[in-house]
């Protein structure tokens, strides 16, 4: 396995204090978090509802950082254009939520946003292989989507290893993102499985946000060696 050491931290704002979201984003910005991970839920694909288009458009003013928008909604093709207009830089859709995966990727590309596919814990990672040439990133869920603060499901790391091996042969530049239950304490293990984009909600927002971002970056440096 060849490590993709273009490590990126993507703090999930689901764990932020929404009463001062602008300030929270400002902290991530000055701390140097590369991405801002924004979880969008529709109450149908997942049993929870979070934020949507107006919130993204509003916080777009707070930072120039890459908005990594994770759509946990059914048939996301209906909305990709509006999310891109609101300020999404990357749009990730679940393979389980799309009746036309190829068409959805095409629609994301038409908006100019970066397309990614996501697999939930019980979905085989092989389901993304037919689309690998058309996407920049695969998001492997390490918890069942819907809520922050859950424990990482370790068997999902096998999917990252399998995908990294496949990508080494077929698309070495592929970014592999993992989302759910990642803390400073298990980041090393996640990176060792081939992941280079780390989503962390409670792992970043519990305690001192800026210090936490710096600790994740130090762990990235240790992994680079």
- Contacts to ligand DX5 from residues 169-198, by CB under 6 A: 179-182
User: Interface with Zn ion includes 68 (CB under 5 A)?
Assistant: no
102: which 2 tokens?
């190829």
User: Interface with Zn ion includes 177 (CB under 5 A)?
Assistant: no
- Contacts to ligand DX5 from residues 21-60, by CB under 6 A: 37, 39
State the minimum distance, in angstroms, from the CB of residue 170 to ligand DX5: 26
State the minimum distance, in angstroms, from the CB of residue 206 to ligand DX5: 8
Q: x/- site string to ligand DX5, residues 127 to 146, per CB under 6 A?
A: ----------------x-xx
Check: CB of residue 55 under 8 Å from CB of residue 24.
no
Is 100 part of the annotated catalytic residue set? no
Give the active site residue among 158, 179, 208, 221: 179
Which residues are within 8 A (CB) of 191 and not within 5 positions of it... i.e. 6 or more apart? 3, 7, 198, 219, 220, 223
Look up tokens 């998001």; give the residue: 139
Check: CB of residue 38 under 8 Å from CB of residue 70.
yes
Which residues are within 8 A (CB) of 121 and not within 5 positions of it... i.e. 6 or more apart? 141, 142, 143, 144, 153, 155, 156
Which residues are within 8 A (CB) of 224 and not within 5 positions of it... i.e. 6 or more apart? 5, 7
User: Interface with ligand DX5 includes 149 (CB under 6 A)?
Assistant: yes
Is 39 part of the annotated catalytic residue set? yes
User: Interface with Zn ion includes 70 (CB under 5 A)?
Assistant: yes
* Angle CA 150–151–152, to nearest 5: 120
State the minimum distance, in angstroms, from the CB of residue 225 to ligand DX5: 26
Q: Catalogue the active-site residues.
A: 39, 179
Q: Which residues are near ligand DX5 by CB under 6 A?
A: 12, 14-15, 37, 39, 70, 143, 145-150, 179-182, 199-203
């Amino acid at each position: 396995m060849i490590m993709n050491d273009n490590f990126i931290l993507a703090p999930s704002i689901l764990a932020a204090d929404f009463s001062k979201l602008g300030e929270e984003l400002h902290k991530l910005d000055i701390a140097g978090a590369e991405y801002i991970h924004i979880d969008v839920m529709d109450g149908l694909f997942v049993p929870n509802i979070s934020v949507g288009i107006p919130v993204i458009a509003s916080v777009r003013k707070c930072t120039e950082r890459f908005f990594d928008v994770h759509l946990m909604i059914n048939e996301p093709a209906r909305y990709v254009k509006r999310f891109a207009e609101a300020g999404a830089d990357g749009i990730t859709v679940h393979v389980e939520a799309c009746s036309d995966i190829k068409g959805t990727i095409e629609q994301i590309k038409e908006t100019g946003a970066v397309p990614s596919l996501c697999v939930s814990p019980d979905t085989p990672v092989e389901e993304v292989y037919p689309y690998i040439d058309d996407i920049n990133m695969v998001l492997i869920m390490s918890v069942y989507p819907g809520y922050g603060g859950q424990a990482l499901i370790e068997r999902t790391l096998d999917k990252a290893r399998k995908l990294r091996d496949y990508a080494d042969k077929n698309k070495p530049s592929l970014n592999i993102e993992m989302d759910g239950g990642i803390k400073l304490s298990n980041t090393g293990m996640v990176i060792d499985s081939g992941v280079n984009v780390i989503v962390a909600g409670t792992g970043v927002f519990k305690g001192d946000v800026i210090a936490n971002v710096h600790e994740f970056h130090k762990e990235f440096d240790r992994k680079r060696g």
